[in-house]
Structure 1
Amino acid sequence: MIKLSGVIITFNEERNIERCLQSLVNIVDEIVVVDSYSTDNTKQICLNYDVTFIEQKFLGYIEQKNFALKQASNDFIVSLDGDEALSGTLQDSIIEIKSNWQLDGYYCNRFNNFCGQWIKHSDWYPNKKLRVFDRRLAQWEGLNPHDKIGLKDNRKAGKLKGDILHWTYQSYTEFNEKTDYFSTISAQSYYDIGKKAPLHKIILNPIWAFFKAYVLRLGFLDGKNGFVISKETGKITYLKYTKLKKLYRNN
C-alpha cells in the first residue's frame, strides 16, 4: 500500500481550514500545510491537528504550490487549497487506490459553493482538477493565478468518483474584490510572456466569456447566482485585457 501526503497552501483560511483537515485526517499518512503568514486563526486551528506547519512568504500560486510539494515526505500526493475538502465519496475513492495505485495521477471534479449555493452549471461544474498524483511525474504549471498540475512525458491519468468541495465567495462584495485582484495578477502574467491586448480582444473576449458561461454552460439554470458568476466571468476577462494594455502603455 502506498503512503499519501496531504499538501495544503493557506492564507487566512480560518473559515474553511478545519473542514479541509477533517476530510484528510483518515485518508493520508501525513498533512503538510504551507502558510503565507496568516493573520487570522489559521495557524492555531492547524496546530490542533497532527500536521507539519511551515510558514513561507507567498511566492506566487504556482511557485508556492511547487514549494509545498517538496516539503512532503511521500511522493504520492493529495493536493488541496485551504478552502477545499474531499467529499465522502472521494475519500472512499482515494482509500481504494491507496492499495491499487495503477496510474500516474487521478482527476476529480470540483464542486463549487457560491454564496451558500452549490453551482451545478455556469462553467463551474464539472470543474475537472488533477489533485491526486505522483509528484515525481508532475509539477504545478500554467499562468498565475490559474495554476494546474501537469503530468510529465504524457503520463496517464484516471478519474476518481466523488468531488472536491470548494467554498468560494460568500458575498458578492468578496467576489467583486477577488475579480479585481485576480485580473491584476493575470494581466501581469500575460505581460511577462509578451501577450498583447488588441482592441478586438478587449471587446469580444468578455462577451464570449459571458455567453459561454451563461448560455452554453447553462448558467441560467443556476438562477441569480448563475447570472452573477457569468457576469463576473466576462468582467474579469475585460479587466485582464484593459490592465494588460495599461501595462504596455506605462512601460
Structure 2
Amino acid sequence: MIKLSGVIITFNEERNIERCLQSLVNVVDEIIVVDSFSTDATKQICLKYNVTFIEQKFLGYIEQKNFALTKASNDFIVSLDGDEALSETLQNSIIELKSNWQLDGYYCNRLNNFCGQWIKHSDWYPNKKLRVFDRRLAEWKGINPHDEIVLKDNRKAGILIGDILHWTYQSYTEFNKKTDYFSSISAQAYYDIGKKAPWYKIVWNPFWAFFKAYFLRLGFLDGKNGFVISKETGKITYLKYTKLRQLYKEN
C-alpha cells in the first residue's frame, strides 16, 4: 500500500482551511501546509491538526506549489488549495486507490460554490483537475495565476469518482476585486513571456469568453449567478489585455 502526502498552500484561509484539513485527515498519511505568512487565524487552525506547517514568502502560484511538493515525505501526492476539500465520495476513491495505484496521476472533477450556490455549468463544471499524482513524474506549470499539474513524458492519467469541493467567492464585491487582481497577475505574466495585446484581442477575446461560458457551456442554466460568472469571465479577459497593452506603453 502506498503512502500519500496531502499538500496545501495557504494565505488567509481561516474561512475555509478547516474543511480542507478535515477532508484529508483520514485519507493521507501526512499533511504539509505551506503558508505565505497569513495575518488571520489560518496558522492557529492548522496547528490544531497533525500537520507540518511551513511559512514561506509567496513565490508565485506555480513556484509556491512546486516548492511545497519538495517538502512532502512521500512521492504520491494529493494537492489541494486552502479553499478546497475532498467530497466524501472522492475521499473513498482515494483511499481505495492507495492499495490499487495503477497510473501516474488521477484527475478529479471540481465543483465550485459561488455565493452559496453550487455551479453546474458556466464553464465551471466539471472543471477537471489533476490533483492526485506521483511527484516524480509531474510538476506544476502554466502561466500565473493559472497553474496546472503536467505529467512528464506523456504519462497516463485516470479519473476518480467524486468531486473536489471549491468555495470560491461569497459575494459579488469579492469576485469583482479578484477579477481585477488576477487580471493584473495575468497581464504581467503575459508581458514577461513576450505575449502581445493587439486591438482585436481586446475586442474579440472578451466577447468569445462570455459567449462560450454563457451559451456554449450553458451558463444560463445557473440563473443570475451563471450570468455574473460569464460576464466576469469576459471582463477578466478584457482587463488582462488592456493591462498588458498598458505595460507595453509604459516600458
Please state which band the TM-score falls in when normalised by the shorter chain. over 0.9
Q: Which residue of 2 aligns with 1:55?
A: 55
Deviation at 1:205, TM superposition (A): 0.3
Q: Which residue of 2 aligns with 1:248?
A: 248
The separation in 2 between residues aligned to 1:143 and 1:2, in whole angstroms, is 32
The letter of the residue matching 1:209 is A
The separation in 2 between residues aligned to 1:126 and 1:135, in whole angstroms, is 24
Q: Which residue of 2 aligns with 1:7?
A: 7
Q: Which residue of 1 aligns with 2:150?
A: 150
What does residue range 159-174 of structure 1 map to in structure 2 within 5 Å?
159-174=159-174
Structure 2 length normalisation: TM-score? 1.00
Q: Which residue of 2 aligns with 1:100?
A: 100
Deviation at 1:233, TM superposition (A): 0.1
SS in 1 for 2:205: helix
Matched, 1:190 2:226: no
Structure 1: gaps of 5 or more residues: none
Deviation at 1:29, TM superposition (A): 0.1
Structure 1 length normalisation: TM-score? 1.00
What does residue range 58-207 of structure 1 map to in structure 2 within 5 Å?
58-207=58-207
Q: How many residues align?
A: 251
Deviation at 1:181, TM superposition (A): 0.2
Deviation at 1:51, TM superposition (A): 0.1
The letter of the residue matching 2:107 is Y
The letter of the residue matching 2:2 is I
The letter of the residue matching 2:92 is D
Structure 1 residues 150-189: Cα deviation after superposition (integer angstroms, max 9, x where no partner): 0000000000000000000000000000000000000001
The letter of the residue matching 1:115 is C
Q: Which residue of 1 aligns with 2:237?
A: 237
Structure 1 residues 194-251: Cα deviation after superposition (integer angstroms, max 9, x where no partner): 1000000000000000000000000000000000000000000000000000000000
The letter of the residue matching 1:233 is T
The separation in 1 between residues aligned to 2:207 and 2:245, in whole angstroms, is 18
Deviation at 1:16, TM superposition (A): 0.2
Divergent runs of 4+, >6 A = none
The separation in 2 between residues aligned to 1:180 and 1:218, in whole angstroms, is 25
SS in 1 for 2:123: coil
SS in 2 for 1:50: coil
The letter of the residue matching 2:91 is Q
Structure 2: gaps of 5 or more residues: none
The separation in 2 between residues aligned to 1:227 and 1:237, in whole angstroms, is 16
The separation in 2 between residues aligned to 1:122 and 1:223, in whole angstroms, is 10
The separation in 2 between residues aligned to 1:128 and 1:196, in whole angstroms, is 29
Aligned-residue Cα RMSD (Å) equals 0.2
Structure 1 residues 2-54: Cα deviation after superposition (integer angstroms, max 9, x where no partner): 00000000000000000000000000000000000000000000000000000
